[in-house]
Amino acid sequence: MSKKVALVLGSGGARGYAHIGVIEELQARGYEIGCIAGCSMGAVVGGIFAAGKLREYREWTESLDYLDVLRLLDVSFRLGAIRGERVFGRIQEIVGEVDIENLDIPFTAVATDLTNQQEIWFQEGCLHQAMRASAAIPSLFTPVIQGKRMLVDGGLLNPLPIVPVVSSHCDLIIAVNLNATNQNHYQLPVIERPAALKGRIDQLMTSLGSRLPSFRRKNEDETLLLAEEQRLADDISPAAAPSRKDDQEQATPKSASGSRVAEFSGPASLLELVNQSFEVMQTSLAQYKIAGYPPDILINVPKRACRFFEFYKAPELIMLGRQIARDTLDKYESERG
């Protein structure tokens, strides 16, 4: 059976942790990853794997609790809700200083150049900068300025970058789509977590979204950021907030008979609205990419698995990615006899 694969890792926010599970399943089955192309979180996971640091990255992400995630959110009020220096600074510590052309595995990170309105492929130069540019999710992370170019998430134009690996000398192309809409039988594995802390994450993202359109002077930004961080430090405790279930019970209106009345559930903030719109666009674009260059194996991770910013769900998403990869590969291998 053919074993050398070209791996395509798509964009999808926190769902990108599923890529780790997919890679682990491929390796467990003896597949050799001959080259990687990635976009957004796909570029981050793919780049870290190509640098030989995936185990360290997984250990770090799985160690993050809600408070750790909050501490990584360096709030910004200019061109994005989060600067990303803390998150990508930690990634840089894990990976080190390395250029793409010196990796053992050929690697391509895809970003979008807003200035020239075109797709950019990073196939040489600083790996860290390439990953940071590819994962600059609009409205969430601030863009990367490179000369006269403003670089953001590659998913804006190409959420599933199959084309960079089409000419590779691999036996199979395996693509991981994080924006699938037809995988209803897969559920995110359940890991118990303190409800109060989860509530604080949701409240913070809502707060960031409500302030996103505001433009303030630098000193005002810093004052607001310090106040926000202090409030979070004071509030985060087991009794700090009601559970999400309690919140929903209180917020859901009742009819005269006492039964719950269904109501429209839309984005809770401008940030969530922008990112839901971004994900709808990515879902459509991914289908065009798959139709234009069908991979030999398509691993579909359901878009509803989690929201784009739920980066504290690494253990669950890694397990989900491995489960879906296992089922998909089982089917492919059985059909091949």
Residues annotated as catalytic are 40, 153
CB atoms closer than 10 angstroms to residue 56: 14
DSSP letter at 7 equals E
Kind of pairing, strands 149-153 and 144-146? antiparallel
- 313 within 8 A of 14, measured Cβ to Cβ: yes
C-alpha–C-alpha distance, residues 1 and 11, integer Å: 29
Q: Which amino acid is at 274?
A: V
- Per-residue exposure over 16-38, b if at least 16 CB sit within 10 Å of its own CB, e if not: bbbbbbbbbbbeeeebebbbbbb
- 269 within 8 A of 214, measured Cβ to Cβ: no
C-alpha–C-alpha distance, residues 94 and 182, integer Å: 35
Kind of pairing, strands 149-153 and 107-113? antiparallel
- 224 within 8 A of 216, measured Cβ to Cβ: yes
- 321 within 8 A of 18, measured Cβ to Cβ: yes
